[in-house]
Structure 1
Amino acid sequence: MEILSTQNARVKEWAQLLEKKYRDKQEKFIIEGIHLVSEALRSDWDIQYIVYDTEKGIPAELQTDIASYSGGAQYVAVSEAVLAKCTDTRTPQPVFAIVYKRNALLQSILTEPKGIVIVLDGVQDPGNVGTIIRSADASGAAGVILGQGCADLYNPKTIRSTMGSLFHLPVLEGSLQEILPAAKEQGAVLLSTSLQAEKSCYTYDFGGGAWIVIGNEGKGISASTAAMVDEHILIPMQGQAESLNAAMASTILLFEAMRQRGV
Structure 2
Amino acid sequence: MSQRAVTSLTNPTVKAVRALHLRKERDETGLFVAEGLKAVIEGIETGHAPAILMHGPDATVHPLAKTAVAATLSANGEVIEVTQEILAKVSRRDNPQAVVGVFRQAFRPLSALEPAASPCWVALHRVRDPGNLGTIIRTADAAGCGGVILVGECCDPYSVEAVRATMGSIFAVPLSQASEAEFAAWRDGWPGSVVGTLLSAEVDHREAAYAKPALILMGNEQQGLPPDMAALCDVNVKIPMRGRADSLNLSVATGIMIYAAT
What is the TM-score with the length of structure 1 in the denominator?
0.89
Tell me if structure 2 keeps the 8 A contact 1:118–1:136: yes
Residue 56 (structure 2) aligned to one of 53, 61, 76: 53
**Which digits, 9 at most, give the CA deviation of each residue in 1:135-155, with x for residues without a partner?**
111111111011233221111
Corresponding residue for residue 39 of structure 2: 36
Which has the higher mean CA deviation after the structures are superposed, 185-194 or 54-63? Answer: 54-63
Q: Does 1:24 align with 2:27?
A: yes
Tell me if structure 2 keeps the 8 A contact 1:192–1:213: yes
Residue 142 (structure 2) aligned to one of 134, 138, 141: 138
Query: 1:180, 1:113 → 2: CA distance?
Result: 21
Superposition deviation, residue 185 in structure 1: 2.1
Tell me if structure 1 keeps the 8 A contact 2:69–2:79: no
Aligned pair in 2 of structure 1 residues 115, 257: CA closer, same or farther (>3 Å)?
A: same
**Which digits, 9 at most, give the CA deviation of each residue in 1:5-53, with x for residues without a partner?**
1111111111111110001111101111111111111111142111101
Query: 2:160, 2:10 → 1: CA distance?
Result: 22
Tell me if structure 1 keeps the 8 A contact 2:56–2:83: yes
Residue 186 (structure 2) aligned to one of 137, 162, 182: 182
**Count of matched residue pairs:** 258
Q: Does 1:227 align with 2:231?
A: yes
Superposition deviation, residue 58 in structure 1: 5.7
Tell me if structure 1 keeps the 8 A contact 2:150–2:175: yes
Superposition deviation, residue 187 in structure 1: 3.0
Letter in 1 for 2:78: Q
Classify the secondary structure of the residue corresponding to 2:32: strand
Residue 197 (structure 2) aligned to one of 182, 193, 198: 193
Query: 1:26, 1:210 → 2: CA distance?
Result: 34
Structure 2 residue runs of 5 or longer lacking an equivalent are: none
Q: Does 1:154 align with 2:158?
A: yes
Superposition deviation, residue 205 in structure 1: 2.4
Letter in 1 for 2:36: G
Classify the secondary structure of the residue corresponding to 1:224: helix
Letter in 2 for 1:135: T
Structure 1 residue runs of 5 or longer lacking an equivalent are: 259-263
The 5 A counterparts of 1:57-206 are 57=60, 59-64=62-67, 71-112=75-116, 115-206=119-210
Query: 1:203, 1:97 → 2: CA distance?
Result: 44
Question: Over the residues paired in the alignment, what is the CA RMSD in angstroms?
Answer: 2.1
Letter in 1 for 2:208: Y
Aligned pair in 2 of structure 1 residues 62, 180: CA closer, same or farther (>3 Å)?
A: farther
Tell me if structure 2 keeps the 8 A contact 1:57–1:77: no
Letter in 2 for 1:145: I
